[in-house]
Each structure stands twice: as structure tokens, then as C-alpha cells.
Amino acid sequence: MQRTSGVLPGELAEAIRATADDIAEVLRAPRDADAGLHGGLSVPRSTWTVGEAAAHLAQANALMAEIADGHERPYGDGTPGSLAEANERALASFAERDPAPLADMIAAQAEAFLVAVERRDPAQVLTTPLGTMSPAVLGSYLLTHMLGHGYDLALALGRPHMLDARRVVLTLPFMLAAMPKVADPAAVAGLTARFAVRLRGGPAFGVTITDGEVRVDHEPPARPDCTVLTEPVAFLLLALGRIDPWPVIARGKALGWGRKPWLAPRFPRLFRAP
């Protein structure tokens, strides 16, 4: 059912709903005669199985719906390590690993989020696992989280993923808000550099690092040390640690130039996806 949204941009609301439905379809699609066992398949680049990743998504969507409903739900301290620990504790307390019922939960909780967020003031400040955010940025957070794990599930199950340029652009409000929080202290230590980051065919933003301190701006700097041009889906997968920079560069999906072009392949590694 199509709905317009007042608190979230309408396109973001529909992307959240469509992404949750796409993930549910991936989880419901039988692979073979042993389809009921595919919850035990390993997720690439992860210690989780498909069932565990789907359970995490169901739990995370429920958490986001509760936050959107105005509840404070402590969940780690915002650092990648503490969030990983919170994830493992939550999974240990939740037994469901069957992809089919988890598919229903993921879609239902995304819808619950969309209903709850419409009761918020657009200027309200909500407390999330990665700090305070407006309802619209929280919606972008939910979409980003679903796209990352949805990609993992599609890859594990041999299904087409649900990332596209339009959805990636809708993740940017969250990505820009989160980048200073998820900068890797060891990677940025002592670094001073100005980056212009451009999504091919889409928007651009700036990242300025001054002796390890990270600032993100909605416009690129006038005189960047390094400009990074990335295909949108590759940008998100690099940012979320799902792929490595060099193969992306080799395929021409990411380019870097400027006074310090060697910083381009280093850029994704300055951050640790939570």
C-alpha cells in the first residue's frame, strides 16, 4: 500500500518499505530441496549465519520502531565494539532463526517504524545507538542498516541484492552524521587532509581531517587534497566494509585525483562500520 509521509521525505519512506519487502522476498525464496535449512548458511565476510543475520535485522528493525515511537533503548555506547557486543547479547536472547518468520518480522517492524515516526515532531531529537538524530536521519539510518545486511543475505543466498543509486543517495543523511563517530582513531591519527567525495551522477560532500579530528560537510571543500569519485552502490558497500577498495578501483567504479591522489584508496579504511 502506498502512503505519503510527512515526517520522513516520501521517497525515504517508500525506500524503507520496499527494501524491507525485498529482504523478505530474498529470505522467503527457496534455494533448493533443502530450502528449510538455508538459515544455517554462512554469510560472506561475517561470523553469522543467514538465520542469525536475519534475526539481527528483525531485532534491529524492532529497536528502530521503538525509538521512533519515543522510547529510549540503550544499546552499547556507539563504538563499533560495544555495538557488536550488544548485537551478540541480543541474538543470544532471541531464539528464532527460521528465515520465513524472520522475513515477516523484518517487513512488519519496518512498517511499525513508518507508522511510529509519523507521530514525531520533525525537529525532535531521538536517542539512537549512534547518538542523537532527527526522525528523518533515523529513517536514513534504518535504510542504511537494512541495505547493508540485505546485501549480505542476498549474497549468501545467491539472490540479486536490493541496492541501487536512488536508495544509496537516501542513506547520505545518516552516513554524513555517522562518519565522525565511526572514524578509526588509529587510521586517522596524525592525518590532515581535505576530501571531496562525489557519487557518480549524484551529490557530493566534504570530509576534512585535521590532526585526526574528522568534520563532515554537506558541500565539498573548495581546494580538496583528494577528490574521490565513486559509483553509488560501490560507495555504500565500501563505506560498510562489504568490499575492498582495490578491486573497485581496478573496475573503474572508484577514481581519485588531486594533489594527494594516493589518499583515495585509503579513504574507506579511515572508518570502521559499526
The C-alpha R_g of the chain, in whole angstroms, comes to 19
Residue-wise pLDDT for 107-121, tens only, equals 999 999 999 999 999
Helix, coil or strand: residue 67: helix
Same fold, 10-171 and 183-270: no
Looking at every residue in the chain, the average pLDDT score rounds to 93
- Lowest pLDDT segment from 48-62, 71-85, 96-110, 152-166: 71-85
Helix (H, G, I), strand (E, B) or coil at 175: helix
Residue 29 has what pLDDT? 85
262: which 3 cell numbers?
594516493
For residue 31, count other CB atoms closer than 10 A to its CB. 15
Checking if the pLDDT of 75 tops 70, the result is yes
The grid cell for 202 is 549524484
pLDDT band at 2 (very low <50, low <70, confident <90, very high): very low
CATH of domain 10-171: 1.20.120.450
Domain 183-270 falls in which CATH fold?
Nonspecific Lipid-transfer Protein; Chain A (3.30.1050)
Beta-bridged to residue 216, according to DSSP, are 207
Of 27-31, 134-138, 218-222, which range is least confident? 27-31
Residue 38: the pLDDT is 67
Q: Please give the average per-residue pLDDT across 172-201, as a whole number.
A: 96
Residue 251: pLDDT over 80: yes
Strand 226-230 and strand 213-217: the pairing is unpaired
Confidence of residue 33 (pLDDT cuts 50, 70, 90): very low
Q: What is the mean pLDDT of residues 133-149?
A: 98
pLDDT at 36 over 60: no
- pLDDT, tens digit (0-9, with 9 covering 90-100), for 119-128: 999 999 999 9
Give the pLDDT confidence of 200-244 residue by residue, as tens digits. Answer: 999 999 999 999 999 999 999 999 999 999 999 999 999 999 999
Identify residue 76 by its one-letter amino acid code. G
Tell me: pLDDT of 17 over 60. yes
Q: Are 231 and 254 in contact, with CB atoms under 8 Å apart?
A: yes
**In the prediction, which pLDDT does 4 show?**
44
Give yes or no for residue 180 having a pLDDT over 60: yes
Altogether, the residues listed in the chain come to a count of 274
Joined together, the cell numbers standing for residue 125 give 531529537
> Residue 68, Cα to own-chain centre: how many angstroms?
17
CB 147 within 8 A of CB 167: yes
What is the pLDDT, as a whole number, of residue 5? 53
pTM of the model: 0.94
Answer whether residue 35 shows pLDDT above 90. Answer: no
Cell of 36: 528449510
- Residues pairing with 195 in the sheet: 207, 226
Map out the domains of the chain as residue ranges.
10-171, 183-270
186: Cβ contacts below 8 Å, ≥ 6 apart = none
